[in-house]
Chains A and B, each alone.
Chain A
Amino acid sequence: MTPSTETFKSNARAALADAKLAKALAGLPGGLVAQRTAAKGRVPEFEALRNTARDIRDHTLAHLDLYLEAFAQKAEAAGSRVHWAETAEEARAIIARLCQERGARLVTKGKSMVSEEIALNRHLEDLGITAVETDLGEYLLQIRGETPSHIIAPAIHLSQDQVEADFRVHHNHLAPDRVLTTAESLVAEARAVLRERFLAADIGITGANFLVAETGSAIIVTNEGNGDLSAHLPKTHIVLAAIDKVVPTLADAATLLRVLARSATGQDMTAYTSLLTGPKAPGDPDGPAECHIVILDNGRSEMLKNGLGEALRCIRCGACLNHCPIYNAIGGHAYGWVYSGPIGAVLSPAFLGIDAAQDLPSASTFCGKCEEVCPVKIPITRLLRGWREKSLETGKRRHERWLLGAWAFFARRPRLYHLATRFAVATLSVLGRPRGAFKRLPLAGGWTARRDFPAPQGRTFQQLWAEHQRGVPR
């Protein structure tokens, strides 16, 4: 997708004015948030599990080369072919070549954020290959020409009546008078339409939630079974996964799955958890004839080198989005790229450059709720602060740097500071005290755009305290 991170402010304003979006987002507290709380409550050791999950991720990332090599060896031994892609371009080229060599016309896709990251669909379309998204949410976005607004609930911004309208336009081969008023009827229709695609597809492409070094397996979790159908029905299965998806053992994967589903949807376990190990073996009743695994770096090694390794712990549960006051207000599209919410604000600058995404790390109150719910304890505010340091250095925030400099000049000189603030406060108080607040104030336009500025009481505490010490009554 074309990033629109540079227009974050106007994206956010548009999102705030979107009543349909507000209505959709209003479902989060009682939905995914409440479900996570309930799921966590059913597991007394949940906090301890978070520590274990974090340790597994940190250990793997510290020995990433070893585990990736081990994974590749086991995967090849199981009959898969492993391909390494350093860049998005390389990954697209590898997948395109695999498709073209097999004369593929139709590809079904399981939900994959990495494929969004490398804009795979558009590339395949350009080559005349039809790629059909089979996750219901992703399918809705594809027929609307939209991008995901959430990591696990990509179409969370849409309402049921929007879906009905889209189906009536897009599925125009079906009876126009059919009844589509319930969620069940919409799901049934999508299921029937997609089933034909699964059966006709030449190649299935899925992501992976984990790559298990111990066994060479790719694990995918879905609630719709669409990943399994994409993996098993076509002759060829391609797994596209980033280097950070590897975990050492099946036991480690099991631990991560325990925190993943609970953090994401509040389920104890997702409806389908599939371990895909190589192509169909002799004696297997089904499965693809060949399996390819494309492992993508796309800047992640650089992130590890540049102190952003903790962000690579992420297992893409989306809990930080669901609990974020900013995400709850503006939704995912305003963030302007594939990954939204707090973790998106950490990741997007790494992928797009801080100049293009400098608003994202700044647009946080640092309330810390994201860290409180993160199943792998990513220190999101610290990482965002690191990006703020970078963006202040780059020059685009010149105005802000100047203001900070002027403020710091006084703050570093207590005597001058106390004298200057005394006069400023006295003036403001005289003007504002009768009403108690200002509707407008020079140099405080940012504040007064949405709220009144409280009038100061009149004198500084330092001034009054000094008098108090001399015995002057207040």
Chain B
Amino acid sequence: MKPRVGLFVTCLVDLMRPSVGFAAARLIEEAGCVVVVPAGQTCCGQPAYNAGDPETARDLALQTVRAFEGCDFVVAPSGSCAAMLRIHYPALFKGRGGVESEVEAFAGRVHELTSFLVNVRHKTETGAKFSGRVTHHDACSGLRELGIRSEPRQLLAAVEGLELVEAREVSPCCGFGGLFSVKYPEISGAVADRKIEDLRAPAADLVTGGDLGCLMNLAGRLRRTGIHLPCRHVAEVLAGELHDPPIAWGEEDAR
């Protein structure tokens, strides 16, 4: 029997870029799973958690945990949200009786998309095609909290026609940081500029990333500073979901 995978869409993909959600669903299905999308999910609660409001975060955590009852796995096209579900949910309910074990059992089933495909479903390629040089940005949560680094690269490198190139410095933060980006826009912009310099170094045709937050920040800053470097979620490339224009590009730019 095929495993039942609950797609944790993430609020940004749900609102901003549903094409990423469809790409993720397709990749999971092609990895031999049944995809369900519980309508009881909204946001993982990370904005509240990181703003210092653990009560709201706990409410949203329980809502999420319960929305995904009956799923063998929970997969998110975001390292940041996956880390919230996998690592921070248990921390939020530590020492809270029966709920703690319920949350822990849930957390153990959560995976970030590329890590799920490679480590759980043992996929080595997705059968997609892309012509051009691609550089991948590691989002900090996925990289440091979940240890995701080789997984998206392995899948990207297997895309026909795609040449994977590395940024000058791979690991630095893009300056997004959730609410940080709107509370301290000047600092966030300066951090993004440095990241963009690193990303431009290998003369890539496309920047991919596993987190829409970082990508919206980078694409928005690229657009503001007039630099022509498209950004897409890695799932779009891996699933060949490329008909929508890149992030922050208009219908006119894409042509």
By secondary structure, the A interface counts as helix
Which residues of chain A are near B249, meaning CB under 8 Å?
A: 436-437
Residues of B within 8 A of A435 (CB): 250, 252
B186 is contacted by which of A372, A449, A452 (Cβ under 8 Å)? A449
Check if A364 sits within 8 Å of B250, measured CB to CB. no
A400 / chain B contacts, CB cutoff of 8 Å: 51, 179, 183
Contact B51 A325 (CB under 8 A): no
A9 vs B19: C-alpha distance when bound (angstroms): 37
1/0 per residue, CB under 8 A from A, across B172-212: the answer is: 11011111111111111111101000000000000000000
* Cβ contacts A to B, 23 pairs, < 8 Å: A12-B184, A29-B169, A328-B194, A365-B175, A368-B144, A369-B140, A388-B51, A404-B53, A412-B56, A414-B39, A421-B14, A436-B251, A437-B219, A450-B188, A451-B220, A453-B220, A454-B220, A455-B250, A457-B18, A460-B15, A460-B18, A461-B9, A462-B9
Q: A450-B224, A460-B18, A461-B18 are in contact. Are A329 and B190 (CB under 8 A)?
A: yes
> Is there an interface contact between A452 and B144, defined as CB atoms closer than 8 Å?
no
B206 to chain A, nearest CB (A): 16
- Where chain B touches its partner, the secondary structure class is helix
Q: Does B128 make an interface contact (CB < 8 A)?
A: no
Segment at the interface with B among A81-89, A242-250, A345-353, A389-397 = A389-397
Partner of B185, one of A366, A401, A450: A450
Contact A418 B39 (CB under 8 A): yes
Complex CA gap A372/B143 in Å reads 11
Question: Beyond A12-B184, A365-B175, is A457–B42 a contact (Cβ under 8 Å)?
Answer: no
Q: How far is the CB of A98 from chain B (nearest CB, A)?
A: 43
Give the chain A neighbours of B60 by CB distance below 8 A.
408, 411-412
**Cβ < 8 Å to B, chain A residues 289-328:** 325-326, 328
Contacts of A465 in B (CB 8 A): 18, 21-22, 25, 37
Q: Chain B residues near A436 (CB, 8 Å)? A: 223, 245, 248-254
Other-chain contact of A392, B37, B51, B219, B251 (Cβ < 8 Å): B51
Query: Are the C-beta atoms of B223 and A451 separated by less than 8 Å?
Result: yes
Roughly how many angstroms separate A452 CA and B227 CA in the complex, as a whole number?
12
Distance between A454 CB and nearest chain B CB, rounded to angstroms = 4
Q: Does B126 contact A (CB under 8 A)?
A: no
Q: Does B217 contact A (CB under 8 A)?
A: yes
Contact B186 A451 (CB under 8 A): no
Q: Is the CB of B51 within 8 A of A456?
A: no
A414 touches B177 (CB 8 A): no
Flag if B144 contacts A451 (CB, 8 Å): no
Determine whether the beta carbon of B186 is less than 8 Å from that of A13.
Answer: yes
Q: Which residues of A contact B189 (CB under 8 A)?
A: 449-451
Bound Cα distance from A230 to B117, whole angstroms: 61
Tell whether A362 pairs with B169 under 8 Å between CB atoms, given A412-B59, A452-B223, A454-B16: no
Q: A410-B42, A449-B186, A451-B220 are in contact. Are A325 and B173 (CB under 8 A)?
A: yes
- Nearest to A437 among chain B residues (CB) is B248
- CB < 8 Å neighbour of B41 from A393, A414, A447: A414
In the assembled complex, which residues on chain B have CB atoms less than 8 Å from the CB atom of A44?
A: none
On whether the beta carbons of B14 and A454 are closer than 8 Å, the reply is: no
Chain A residue numbers with a CB within 8 Å of B240 are none
Say whether B43 faces chain A, with CB atoms less than 8 Å apart.
Answer: yes
* Chain B interface extent, by class: 35 or more
Report the bound CA distance from A284 to B200 in whole Å.
Answer: 62
* B11 partner residues in chain A, CB cutoff 8 A: 411
Is A447's CB under 8 angstroms from B248's CB?
no
Q: Let me know if B18 and A369 touch, CB within 8 A.
A: no
- Residues of A contacting B216 with CB < 8 Å? 453-454
Q: Decide if A138 is an interface residue (CB 8 Å cutoff).
A: no
- Does A326 contact B191, Cβ atoms closer than 8 Å? yes
A404 to B183, CA, bound (A): 13
Considering only CB atoms and an 8 Å cut-off, how many residues of chain A contact the other chain?
70
Q: How far is the CA of A454 from the CA of B17 in the complex (A)?
A: 10
Which one of B51, B67, B223, B250 has the highest number of Cβ atoms from chain A below 10 Å of its Cβ? B51
Contact with B along A170-185 (1 / 0, CB 8 A): 0000000000000000
Contact of B3 with A by CB under 8 A: no
Knowing A365-B180, A451-B220 touch, does A462 contact B187 (C-beta < 8 A)? no
Closest to A391 in B: B52
Decide: B172 and A325 in contact? CB cutoff 8 A: yes
> Considering the chains assembled together, what is the distance between the CA atoms of A393 and B55 in angstroms?
12
Of residues 423 to 445 in A, which have CB atoms within 8 Å of B's CB atoms?
A: 424-425, 433-437, 439, 444
B150 within 8 Å of A by Cβ? no
Proximity string of chain A (102-141) to chain B, C-beta cutoff 8 Å, 1 when within and 0 when not: 0000000000000000000000000000000000000000
| Chain B positions within 8 Å of A437 at CB level | 219-220, 223, 248-250
Given A16-B187, A328-B194, CB of A364 within 8 Å of CB of B180 = yes
Q: For B254, what are the chain A residues with a Cβ–Cβ distance below 8 Å?
A: 436
Does B124 sit at the interface, judged by CB under 8 A? no
Distance between A311 CB and nearest chain B CB, rounded to angstroms: 17
Tell me, yes or no, whether A228 is within 8 Å of chain B by CB: no
> Does A272 sit at the interface, judged by CB under 8 A?
no
Q: Identify the closest chain A residue to B80 (Cβ).
A: A366
Residue B171 interfacial (CB < 8 Å): yes
* B63 is an interface residue with CB less than 8 A from chain A: yes
Q: How far is the CB of A392 from chain B (nearest CB, A)?
A: 4
In the bound complex, CA of A449 to CA of B52 (Å): 24
Contact of A367 among B67, B140, B169 (CB under 8 A): B140
